[in-house]
């Protein structure tokens, strides 16, 4: 893991007390799913879902992989999707780059495919897609709803064996404003903090 990301995680794990108790209850249900799957020797598949699969759901996918690696928890497979496909938002990408991720695009104009790396040999592929895209698992996964719109518009997720709503404020609300960069940095940090807490409970 790149040192800058490791240090970022190290600073956040000291801040679990900032997570509200009710929020911790929600997050612990994700930890319980992971523990149950591992106890049954099953793959742990987490699919983070938001409307456009452009910001919060990608933060979830990325930070779940990082958190698992940070705590040395193996066989964790993370994905993301939306109710519609758009593109991985450039402001979300920049927020991750500030933390220390190395991100490469394939250069496509409408919906680029990105290689997101948090270590020399620790990378994942990210692009906007619907939640039932062929790149995502078809069954035996936990659906983690990162936005209220997706939670309301997806009353049923085929193949999911569990579902948790961890909704976050959309940084898109601040696009084009003086608060834009801070909003993306804050949301990135919040999702990182809470995802690290999830895997801390697993460890």
pLDDT at residue 129, as a whole number? 97
45-64: pLDDT as tens digits: 999 999 999 999 999 999 99
Tokens encoding 87: 């593109």
Chain segment 61-112, per-residue pLDDT in tens? 999 999 999 999 999 999 999 999 999 999 999 999 999 999 999 999 899 9
Of the candidates 95, 54, 57, the residue with the CA atom closest to the CA atom of residue 183: 95
Q: Which domains does the chain have, with CATH numbers?
A: 3-130+147-202 (3.40.50.2300)
Q: What is the DSSP string of 34-54?
A: HHHHHHTT--EEEEEEESSSS
Report the C-alpha gap between 54 and 145 in whole angstroms.
Answer: 13
What's the start-to-end Cα distance of the chain, in Å? 18
pLDDT at 152: 73
| Residue 3, pLDDT score | 98
Beta bridge partners of 102: 117
- 61 contacts 95 by C-beta, under 8 angstroms: no
Residues 6+ apart with CB under 8 A from 107: none
For strand 76-82 and strand 122-126, is the pairing parallel, antiparallel, or unpaired?
A: unpaired
pLDDT digits (tens, 9 = 90+) for 126-176: 999 999 999 999 999 999 999 877 777 776 899 999 999 999 999 999 999
């Amino acid at each position: 893991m790149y040192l800058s990301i490791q240090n970022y995680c190290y600073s956040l794990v000291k801040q679990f007390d900032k997570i509200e108790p009710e929020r911790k209850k929600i997050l612990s249900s994700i930890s319980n799913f992971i523990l149950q799957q591992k106890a049954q020797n099953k793959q742990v598949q987490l699919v983070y879902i938001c409307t456009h699969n452009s910001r919060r759901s990608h933060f979830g996918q990325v930070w779940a992989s990082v958190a698992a690696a940070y705590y040395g928890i193996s066989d964790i497979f993370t994905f993301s999707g939306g109710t519609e496909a758009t593109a991985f938002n450039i402001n979300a990408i920049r927020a991750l780059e500030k933390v220390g991720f190395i991100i490469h695009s394939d250069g496509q104009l409408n919906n680029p495919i990105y290689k997101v790396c948090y270590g020399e040999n620790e990378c994942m592929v990210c692009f906007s897609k619907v939640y039932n895209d062929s790149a995502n698992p078809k069954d035996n996964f936990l659906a983690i709803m990162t936005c209220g719109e997706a939670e309301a518009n997806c009353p049923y997720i085929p193949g999911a064996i569990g579902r948790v709503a961890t909704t976050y404020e959309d940084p898109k609300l601040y696009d084009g404003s003086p608060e834009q960069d801070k909003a993306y940095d804050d949301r990135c940090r919040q999702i990182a903090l809470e995802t690290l807490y999830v895997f801390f409970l697993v460890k």
